Amino acid sequence: MLFSSSVFLLCFLPLLILCYYIVPGRCLPWRNLVLLAFSLAFYAFGGLRYFWLLCLCIAADYAAGLGLSRAGSPKTKKLLLVMTVLATLGILGYYKYARFAAATVSWLGLSVKVPDIVLPIGISFFTFQGLSYVIDVYRGSAPAQKNPLRIALYISLFPQLVAGPIVRYTDIEESLGRRGHDLDTFAQGLVRFCFGLGKKMLLANAMGEIADSAFSLAGHPSLTASLAWIGALAYSFQIYFDFSGYSDMAIGLGKLFGFRFAENFDYPYVSSSVTEFWRRWHISLSSWFRDYVYIPLGGNRCSAGRNVLNLLIVWFLTGLWHGANWTFVLWGLYYGILLLLEKYVFKNALSRIPGLIRHVLTLLLVVLGWVLFRSDSIGRAWLYLLAMFGRSGAASGQALYYLLQYWPEFLCCILASMPLKRLLERRFAENAALRIGAIGMAALVFALSYMRLEYGGFNPFIYFQF
């Protein structure tokens, strides 16, 4: 079920709000039960075929947490942790990477049958959330939860279940047992949700139509440099507003029910270095790999050679997490190499370059990286990159057509990529009339988004595939 669907907006969400708030505030366990029931129904709506897998992961994480809290020796705790991690990664590996591995082996010339496996929705997110809980219990940074319903709610909580952000158990542990509800926070949640929906429906979808058209021409003579650049820029905006829009909707939905999720994006396209870009982009994933992979490997408290290896491992896994394709692996390694160059080769030189030039260079590298991320294969990515640098000529009428037809969306994308919202929020906080105006603007964005939903058929969510 998509947040940007009539079923969710007109049926699921209003019914959930009604059932949730009809329960008295002093009966939080019953409110949690309502939220759990609707969260499980939300996932089941996307496909009953793998509903059991979510339930299995919940049960395994709950049992592992209890086991770790009761283990008598460090050796037993470590063994239990290793077994849980291997089992969880085994599930993720089978459903997400078995086809990829078999296809790779078959490509190498060995006779291997490629299994027909459908990727369960959200498996990359709910497995990582479960792992963070188990690892935190093992480390002693979180107590084992004895109430199975709270663990089930943590892992299956529908706002972030299928496409993130990756919420740590320690971030919402207290809220699972005690949280407040007030009208002001509820209103903030609705406003945040509406603007997130607008990002998705009004900006990401429009940019996606351009990007799909341009990338489908990879290798074709009609893909001129101007069209290729417009397509790459459109995809850069599409993936940002698609995913940050989903994160905004998830954060807003969390506020409706008393949860406060951490921010997942911090205007990454204003970055002046690749390092800064990854501090601002998909923050929950970056911090997950930092805390549970990079630091345990030794982080930067080791020799330069080992640090290089640690970074390459982390970025190889980051790329692989995004998808079972060599394009994603190379995309991850591409960023690993760029980060290493910034850290060890160009560190001093970068500080002497004017900020505007550093910003433009960073955006150029990011856009080129998105070409690899978006392409179906390495070969098509290479053909697209060649087109960007003039292989099939410079200008085309189709590029001009997209600029003339979509200039309002491009302008809105540029403005919405800047931290103007923060400046407006400060003004709104100081003026009650402006706050009412923000609610009215959110209502307008919702109305326009719903019109786009009803009259437009193009409505994918990019991160659902992960």
Tokens of 37: 């029931």
Tokens of 367: 């856009």
| The dihedral formed by the CA atoms of 353, 356, 359 and 363, expressed in degrees to the nearest 10 | -120
Contact at 8 Å (CB) between 49 and 91? no
Tokens of 5: 């669907």
Q: Where in the sequence numbering do the catalytic residues fall? A: 322
**CA-to-CA distance for 31 and 210, rounded, in angstroms?**
43
Give the residue from 114, 61, 116 showing the smallest Cα distance to 84: 61
Q: Which long-range contacts (CB under 8 A, 24 or more apart) does 394-397 make?
A: 394/224, 394/225, 394/226, 395/224, 395/225, 395/226, 396/222, 396/224, 396/226, 396/227
What is the residue-wise DSSP string for 223-260? Answer: --HHHHHHHHHHHHHHHHHHHHHHHHHHHHHHHHTT--
**CA-to-CA distance for 157 and 463, rounded, in angstroms?**
17
